[in-house]
Amino acid sequence: MDSMAREHLIREWKPFDDVKVYTKVNKFALSLACRLLLGIDDPIQVQKFSDTFRYAMSGFYSMPVNFPGTSYHSALKEIGSLKKQMLKIIQDKKQRLKNSGAADTNVDILSWMLMDPNFKSKPESEIAFNLITLLIPSHESTSSAAAFVLKYVAEFPSIHDMVYKEMMAIANSKPPEELLNWEDIQKMKYSWCVINESLRLTPPGLGTFREATKNLNFAGYTIPEGWKVLWSPFTTNKDPKYYPDPDKCDPTRHEGNGPEPGTHMPFSMGPRKCPGQDYAKFVVLVYMYNVLRRFKLQVLNPDENIMYRGGPIPENGLPMRLQPLYRNVSHKTE
């Protein structure tokens, strides 16, 4: 993650005075997911996935009318195309593994799946479905989370200074060019509080469905057994009972034991908790580390309209102005 983030910033950030942060981080998150999940580095293939996901996601929250011209119809076509691409990738990977033996077992998730006895005998279509369900959240919600974290850091100088101090302490404790490791991530305690507060203020998902296992009463309403229930973080995350001055950005809310259980669930909770929590945490922290050591950010349109396509998306890509801080960076990779 760290190596790819450094390469990404040199290519996608350093040459410019202004960047659209959401657009950049979305591109990085998808490239990272393609490499870790599929072992794909080809930017042309990554762009194909990006185009497919853009159309497919538009159908997730549309009326399920399968008629030419509707968002749902277009989304189904794109998912069909994506499945064909994925099947071709699986077949090519199988052939390479057959030729190289177990040499590539730990290179990416797909290689591991094809070598693991529990997956090896499964139909290729099932493996393709598993990969698609991993790819979509691994870049869509993660890129939204990372973009809005950078927005809040840019908007609040006191938060920026604390995060910058923490990141530079880690950078200055390491030899030049050394990549981040597990111990470094564990030291980013305040930065993780900032991420949690950003997730509270701008949740990357619209909510979570659960099914009522029995008839129950809630707030004067009866919910029959078998009905779906949608929990929305946009209400619980700003409940003044648990968050005084709920619209204020205050990362210290998450220090120590943090908020009361069940009042802040960016990754849900219980046995169906998002299995990608640690992955998302690492991606956002690593991206913050690389961006904020190199640039001070200025939000160019604080009132930019936010659209929702499963999660929040800045209408214009979240444009920011960059102030380079190269002289303060101990890793002279540039």
124-155 and 71-100 helices cross at what angle (nearest 10)? 110
Task: Report which DSSP code applies to 209.
Answer: E
Which pLDDT does position 332 carry in this prediction? 42
Handedness of CA 154, 159, 163, 164 (dihedral sign): positive
Token couple for 118: 């529990």
- Low-confidence winner among 19-28, 36-45, 53-62, 128-137 (lowest mean pLDDT): 53-62
Terminal CA-to-CA distance of the chain, rounded, Å? 17
How are beta strands 221-223 and 228-231 bridged, if at all? unpaired
Q: What percent of the chain has pLDDT over 70?
A: 96
The pLDDT tens digits of the residues spanning 160-177 come to 999 999 999 999 999 978
Residue scoring higher pLDDT (19 or 75):
19
Token couple for 236: 């619980």
For the annotated binding site for heme, the residues are 274
Residue scoring higher pLDDT (20 or 129):
20
Which pLDDT does position 330 carry in this prediction? 44
CA of residue 328 relative to chain centroid, distance: 28
For the annotated binding site, the residues are 274
The pLDDT tens digits of the residues spanning 235-287 come to 889 999 999 999 999 999 999 988 998 899 888 888 888 888 889 999 999 99
Which pLDDT does position 334 carry in this prediction? 39
Cα(72)–Cα(320) distance, rounded to whole angstroms?
A: 34
- Low-confidence winner among 10-19, 32-41, 224-233, 271-280 (lowest mean pLDDT): 271-280
Answer yes or no: is pLDDT of 297 > 50.
yes
What integer is the mean pLDDT of 223-241?
90
Helix (H, G, I), strand (E, B) or coil at 215: coil
A 10 A CB-CB count for 321 gives 15
2-38+135-328 carries CATH number 1.10.630.10: yes
Report which of 160, 156, 86 is spatially closest to residue 124, judged by C-alpha positions. Answer: 86
Answer yes or no: is pLDDT of 65 > 60.
yes
Which pLDDT does position 293 carry in this prediction? 94
Q: What percent of the chain has pLDDT over 90?
A: 52
Cα(173)–Cα(178) distance, rounded to whole angstroms?
A: 10
Which pLDDT does position 106 carry in this prediction? 55
Domain positions in the chain: 2-38+135-328
